[in-house]
Every structure is written in structure tokens, then in C-alpha cells.
Structure 1
Amino acid sequence: MEQKMKHAQHDKQVTMHQKHLLVIAPYFYPKIGGMENCAYTIARRFHDVLGYRVTVITSNHLAKEYLQEELDGIIVHRLAPSFKISNTPIGFSWRRTIKKLCNEIRPDIVNIHTPVPFMADIAAPICAMYAPVVLSYHAGSMRKGTLPEDAIILPYEKIFLPMLFRTVSRIAPVSEYFSHTLGIAVKEKTAVIRPGIDTARFTNTPLPDGDPVVMFVGRIEHSSAWKGIDELLHAFVSVHTRMPRARLRIVGGGDAVEHYTALAHTLGIGDVTVFTGPQTGDALIDAYRTSTVVVLPSTSDAEQSSVVLVEAMASGRPVIGTRIGGTPFIIDNEKNGLLVPPKDVLALADTIVRVLSEKILATQLGTQARIDAEAVDWEKQIRAYAHLFDTLISS
């Protein structure tokens, strides 16, 4: 009888075991960005909906000090950076701190977000000693085509990145493009899971009346020059010459806002270009609703799975992107949007004018875009992550 009771107590403890997810990302909410939003949503959904205990390890992007806080029931450890190289925070004490936290937390599953180097590279081998590790990879190559950044990035991608891929249990890239480039050697451990959106929050509204609005949404930082704002501003000079009522709206924040504002005035389009600053929540949804077309003129294959494009599509807006990185896996040319060659200012201008001039085309593209956006609703994407995590935990 006593032995049966012990077995029953053990079974009850096993049944009541609350799975513990450890999320590691170089940056985390409230910092705004595609990777940051994805990591935050995974943490929130697994905590709020699936009942996991969730702990986050990230850098403190606001100060050079360690901070522990509770965010909506999630414990967040913000590690103090020693310094930054470009957009990469580096901490001399991080390895020791991450090992200490893993030993205390004893996670059942670890989800690391990158491609920002260093944090993922030191965390993966440590975490792999405690639990299966899933690497969410948010970019293609990080090469920018400029020195001295590429002098560091090239050896990193040739030597250290393959080591990271070998260390983790599974890789969840955000785009199929990964398997054709950096992930060729690790296809057998790769499962594409795109970042999702809450499609119910976005409404397929008719194109607005009045002056046509061309909109860009994204980081406006010198380190993110590959987002293509320079090319968009130069293209809009031609657009405005042919369509004087057209307006350009640039949504986002960063250390390059003043630079691009000055460039707009130098190009003679300062009076018809608005820099709104960062927009989130209902303000961002309204920005999509009042736009005529949303443009993402990226110049680097670092652009993998733009949430901005999918949000615009969910709003029923025609989208224009470049044939680079993961964008062609989102935009089906001439069906749910239009593609142009990267850095081709004239082609970009012509395509923007085409969409603004042909309302029937714009409406058709927007209608199909909304249908396609529903395929990456967050509910579906979280189910994919949950299946992957459960498979690894049970094995």
C-alpha cells in the first residue's frame, strides 16, 4: 500500500510539472524590432496561453548595469553590456552569469534568438548541457558590403556561425531563404517558422481617398542602412515629380532620423515627407489603414521575414519589396504584391507610380495579400513552436 502511495505521489508530481522555457535574445521588449517582438510574443504566449514558466535572458539596452524584473509574469534578466560593436552588445561576465542562471533555472527547453553575434554563441553550448536548444534565426548573411564591419562578419559567418548551428538541437529560421544559403549544411535540423501577426487586429479596408501615401515602416538607424531608406527617398523624387500630390510617410525611430530628414530636404521632398517617429498598437494599425502602398526597399539579404510586409498585407494594402533575402518568399510578384531589383531607384519609382496610378491593380493585390497574410497568424506559428518544443522535450 505504502509503495502504491509513493507511486501515486510521484505520478502526481510528474503530471503537475510545469514546463520551463528559457528565452535568450540580445535585445528584448520594450526595445522595438522584428526579432525583439518575436521573442517577446513567444515568451508571452507560452506563459499566458500554454502555461509554461518563462524566463528571459537579454542585454540591458538602456544602461550598463544588471537588472532583474518581472514583466507580465515573465522573469527577465537584463545583463550589463561591457560595450557594443555596431549593433552587437558584448558582456565580459555574461558566460558566467548565463551558466549560473541555467543552473538555477534548470529549463526544459531553450529558445535562442539571433543573428546578433556573441550572446547566442556563448549561451548555446552552456544551455545545451541543461536542455534542448532551438535557435530562431532571423536573418540571412549579416554582411553589409562595407568595411570595417564585413572584416568582422565574414570570418564570424565562416567559422563561428557553423559552430553555433552544430551546437543547437534544432534551427527555426524565419524564412525558406536560410536553407538555400547559410543553412545548406544543416537542412536536416531545420524547420522554418515565420514570425506571426495577430491578423484579427488588422482589417482589410478600402484604399483611402485623398492624397496617395507611400509608407515605410522600420528601424531608422545607421546600422540598418540596408533597409533602403536612402533608395526610397531618391525614388520618391521621381514619384513626386510625376505625381505631385503623393506623400511619403516614414514610420520608425533611431539614430539616423536627422540624417534622412536632412537628405529629404536636400532632395527637395522635405515638405512632402513626414517622419512620424515609432508607432505601435492602434497608431501603427491606423498608419497602415491610411496608407496607399507600403514599401520595403531592402538592399541586403539580412531581410528575411518582414513582419511589416505581412502586417501591411493583413491590412489589405499592396506591398512593394525587393528581390533579395526572404522577401520573395513573402511577396508573390504580381499576385499579392510587386518585386523590384534591390538598389534600382528607377524601377522602384516606376513601380510606386504604377500602384498609385492603377487603383484596380492596387485593390486586387491588397485583397490577395490579406488572404495570404492569414497563413502566418501567431496562433498557428505558436502551435508550430509548441510542437517542436514538445518533440524535443519528450525525446
Structure 2
Amino acid sequence: MNLMIVTPYFYPKMGGVEKYVYEISLRLNKKYGIDPVIICSNWDNDRYKEDFIDGIKIYRLPYLFKISSTPINPFWNKKLHSIIDKENPDIINGHIPVPYIADVVARIVHRKNIPFVLTYHNDLTGYNPLVRLLSKAYYYTLGFKTFDLSQRIIVTSEYYAKNSPYLKKYYQKLRIVSPGIDVKKYNINRTNYLKGKYNLKDEKIVLFVGQLNKESQHKGLDYLIKAVKIVSDSINVKLIIVGTGNYIEYYKNMAESYGMTSRVIFAGYIDDSDLPKYYNESDVVVLPSYNRAEGFGMVLIEALACGTPVIGTTVGGIPYAIKNDEDGLLVPPKDSEALADAIKQILTDEKLAEGMGRRGYERVSKEFTWEKSTENFLEIVREVLGE
């Protein structure tokens, strides 16, 4: 089987979508002998280049400009035709929410009579009125046509499949392939790594992991900072924020305005190999996103793989990642008071926290592995190809 995957960005740029594509591609190669070919934009945007990573062939295309986080180049069409003709794929899998490149490829391969499967990670929303308007315009100019041209549409959770207003018409096409996790990587012994690195004593640790870009405001970090301020009135607590981005000064100024400078640690970029230490040594991991742009919430699954309880909001795919009152707590979005109450509940009840962490680890070990994700993806591809 010749499989091609089209995604806006790819490793070494590593967000949720990039990790999803990388992990499944890796297992297709190693376990099933399928050599996926990746087409993506060139994150460095210096030139066109071809390379290999872990046996995966990658074509990186320079973009002309970006709208929000969307790389665009009207001249890609000719190059995409050339690459597709050269590789002669049996089927192509495109990834959004970051639009354009997958939409262009869907139209090219439709004319070439090559099956196209779309992986739809989350709805496009937007962090300001203009971006929201452009997001809505996308569906009516490109998105719905791409959905029409897709033989199947993969989503990451049943919750998202049932609740996305843009997918209702296409429900019969929908299939679910949740992200996975390498549980062994995260199930490590607790040490005092964070205490030593940040000179902590007996503080309770609240952890946030996510990009600190303006485009990622939907992750709700501002509501978490305010919630931790409330919690700090009665509990000795530290908020550790892992991530970088163009909005970091905004969050630092917010922490300062709340008098929280001494209680908030901006850890910056942390390599994937060190992240399990942060999850393991935290008392609770929080993802307070406030709109459907949060397609799944991978950090919650990573935390549960470490046996750490989690708190999330009732939006997007988060309620699929968290079993409320079993391995974590769900609160309404944009509600710092409710978020603070949930944090206090976990930080003050050791038995509750331990039970949630244990049940979360057990569920993740059974339901969310990359091996299972790859198997489910391959089943859909074979279904489309009639194998």
C-alpha cells in the first residue's frame, strides 16, 4: 500500500496534530511495513526540501505567507501535482484544522481518482472577531467541499463527532481514531526533580502544558492563573506553566497584576523526554480550554498515564478524555471560581486524588495506545480501498 499523508506542519515542529501524524506513521512503518510519505509546509520556510525522519519520507514546501497559523502558497498546486504523480499513492490522508494544504490536495486527487480520507482534529474557531469570521468563511469556501470529497472523515472522539456543528451532515462518513500514548514512557517513578530545579519545598503543584501563542488563547490559561490566585488564599500552591509562544509576556503581566509572580513558574519549552517528570511530580494537571478548538486534550491523557489527576472543561473533546468524578473533574469553561473549587478539592483530598490517578492510569493503558490508534486508522484505510 502506498500511503500519503498531508499535514500543515510535521516533526520536528511538535504540536498535537504533528505528534498524532508522527506516531501513527512510525508504527505503520515499523509494524505493518507501510512507508507513509508526508507532504507538509516547511516550518523554517527557507526552501523546498526532502528529508527522512525515522524511515518516513517528507516533502517540505515553503509557504508564501501565513494567515493566523495557516501556511499558504498559491503556487503549491504544480509542485503537489508533481509529488503525487511521482509517489503514485493508493490513498491520501489529509489533516486539518489548519486549512488550505489538505483542501488543495483533496481537489487534486479527486481529479486523479485517488481516494481521500480526512482527519478532522477540531473545529476552526478563532481568538478575535476577524479570525472567527475567516474561520467561518473557510467552511463555506473550502471546508464543506473538502468534506464532500472525502470518502471518510476521521475524528478523535465520539463527543466531537456528535457535537461539532460542521460535521452533522457528514455523520455517516465519520470514524473515530483517538490519539494514543506510550504508557511506559510516562509511567516512571516520582523523584524530586521539580523541587530541585525550582527550589520548591512543600508547595502543591498545579501544572499547565500548552502553547502560549495568541492563537492558543482558547486553552484558557488566563482563567487558570486567576483560579490559582483564589486557591493560593488557602493553600500553599505553585502553578508551573510549560510552553512558549508569542503571548508569554501577556501571561507574565497577568500573573504580576494578580500579585502572583512568586507563585507562577514559566518553565518555557520542555523536551518531550522530560515532560513525564513534570506530570509525575505535579498534584494536578489542568486544561481549562473554553471552545471547540480543543479537539481532544492530549496533555490530559499524558497526565493520566502518570497517575496524576486532571481537571478540564466541558468543551470540545475534553469530556471524552476525562471521566468526570472517576479520573478527574470537569468544570464549566471561563469559570475561575469553579476551576478553583475543583483544584482545591483535589489538593485537599489525598485519597480522592490517589484514586483518580489510579483509575486514570488503568483506563489510559487500555483505551489510549498508539498501537490501537494505528490499527484503527489502518482499518479505515483498508475499508476505503476495499481490502
Partners of 2:100 and 2:84 in 1: CA distance: 17
In structure 2, the partner of 1:189 is 173
Paired residues in the alignment total 375
Q: What amino acid sits opposite 1:229 in the alignment?
A: L
Aligned to 2:114: 131
Residue in structure 2 matched with residue 289 of structure 1 by the alignment: 280
Aligned to 2:215: 223
Residue 365 (structure 1) aligned with residue 348 (structure 2):
no
For 1:114 and 1:59, how far apart are their aligned partners in 2? 13
Q: Secondary structure at the match of 2:232?
A: helix
Task: Decide whether aligned partners of structure 1 residues 125 and 143 sit closer, same or farther in structure 2, where only a CA change above 3 A counts.
Answer: same
Q: Residue in 2 aligned with 1:238?
A: 230
Deviation at 1:159, TM superposition (A): 4.5
The 5 Å alignment of 1:237-316 reads 237-243=229-235, 245-316=236-307
Tell me how far 1:39 sits from its aligned partner.
Answer: 1.0
What are the within-5 Å matches in structure 2 for residues 379-394 of structure 1? Answer: 379-394=371-386
Match of 1:81 among 63, 78, 100: 63
Partner amino acid for 1:249? I
CA shift, 1:340, in A, is 0.6
Q: Which residue of structure 2 lines up, in the alignment, with residue 376 of structure 1?
A: 368
- Go from structure 1 to structure 2 and tell me whether the alpha carbon gap of 1:277 and 1:249 turns closer, same or farther (over 3 Å shift): same
Aligned to 2:104: 122
Maintained 8 Å contact 2:242/2:268: yes
Q: Which amino acid aligns with 2:36?
A: V
Q: Relative to structure 1, is the Cα distance of residues 263 and 376 closer, same or farther in structure 2, using a 3 angstrom cutoff? A: same
- The answer to whether the Cα contact below 8 Å between 1:144 and 1:300 also exists between their aligned partners in 2 is no
- Distance in 1 of aligned mates of 2:109 and 2:189: 46
User: Which of 106, 110, 132 is the equivalent residue of 2:88?
Assistant: 106
Instruction: Tell me: CA distance 1:296–1:207, structure 2 relative to 1, closer, same or farther (3 Å).
Output: farther
Residue 393 of structure 1: how far off its partner (Å) = 2.5
Residue-by-residue CA offset, 1:6-40 (whole Å, 9 max, x unaligned): xxxxxxxxxxxxx2211110011111210011111
- The alignment partner of 2:233 has SS state of helix
Shift of 1:230: 0.8
Structure 2: stretches of 5+ with no match in the other structure: 193-200
1:8 maps to what in 2? Answer: none
Which structure would you say has the larger Rg?
1
Which SS does the other structure have where 2:207 is aligned? strand
Please, which moves more after superposition, 70-79 or 313-322?
A: 70-79
Does the CA contact (< 8 Å) of 2:161 and 2:171 recur in 1? Answer: no
Within a 5 Å distance, the mapping from 1:50-65 to structure 2 comes to: 50-65=32-47
Q: CA-to-partner distance for each residue in 1:333-369, whole Å, 9 max, x for gaps?
A: 1111100100001111111111101111111111111
Question: Which residue of the partner structure matches residue 92 of structure 1?
Answer: 74
CA contact (8 A) 2:289 2:312 kept: yes
The CA distance in 1 between the partners of 2:348 and 2:331, in whole Å, is: 17
Q: Which runs of 5+ in 1 are unaligned?
A: 1-18
Query: How far off is 1:102 after superposition?
Result: 0.6
CA contact (8 A) 2:285 2:309 kept: yes
Percent of aligned pairs sharing the same letter: 34
Deviation readout 1:236-272 (Å, 9 max, x if unpaired): 11111221x2110011121122221222122111112
**Aligned residue number for residue 7 of structure 1:** none
CA contact (8 A) 2:4 2:92 kept: yes
Return the alpha-carbon distance in structure 2 between the equivalents of residues 332 and 206 of structure 1. Answer: 24
> TM-score if structure 1 supplies the norm length?
0.91
1:207/1:317 contact within 8 Å kept: no
Per the TM alignment, residue 88 of structure 1 is displaced from its structure 2 partner at its CA by 0.7
Cα deviation, 1:68-87, whole Å, max 9, x if unaligned, reads 11222222111110000111
Q: Tell me the CA shift for residue 130 of structure 1.
A: 4.8
Aligned amino acid, residue 125 of structure 2: R
Would the aligned equivalents of 1:113 and 1:138 in 2 still touch at CA under 8 Å?
yes
Q: Write the distance in 2 (CA, Å) between the matches of 1:280 and 1:169.
A: 37
Equivalent in the alignment of 1:330: 321
Residues 374-383 or 203-212, more deviating: 203-212
What's the TM-score once normalised by structure 2's chain length? 0.93
Amino acid at match of 1:242: S
- State the AA in 2 paired with 1:137: Y
Whether contact under 8 Å (1:64, 1:82) holds in the other structure is no
- SS of residue matched to 1:316: coil
Displacement after TM superposition at 1:226 (Å): 0.5
User: Contact 1:102 / 1:130 at 8 angstroms: preserved in 2?
Assistant: no
Q: Which of 131, 151, 161 pairs up with 1:178?
A: 161
Residue 166 (structure 1) shift = 0.9
What residue in structure 1 maps to residue 133 of structure 2? Answer: 151
Deviation readout 1:78-108 (Å, 9 max, x if unpaired) = 1110000111110121122111111111012
The aligned counterpart of 1:9 is none
Partner of 1:69: 51
Cα RMSD, aligned residues only: 1.7
- Counterparts of residues 158-177 of structure 1 (less than 5 Å): 158-176=140-158, 177=160
State the alpha-carbon separation in 1 of the partners of residues 362 and 139 from structure 2.
Answer: 36
Cα drift, residue 279 of structure 1: 2.0
The 8 Å contact of residues 309 and 328 in structure 2, kept in 1 or not, is answered as yes
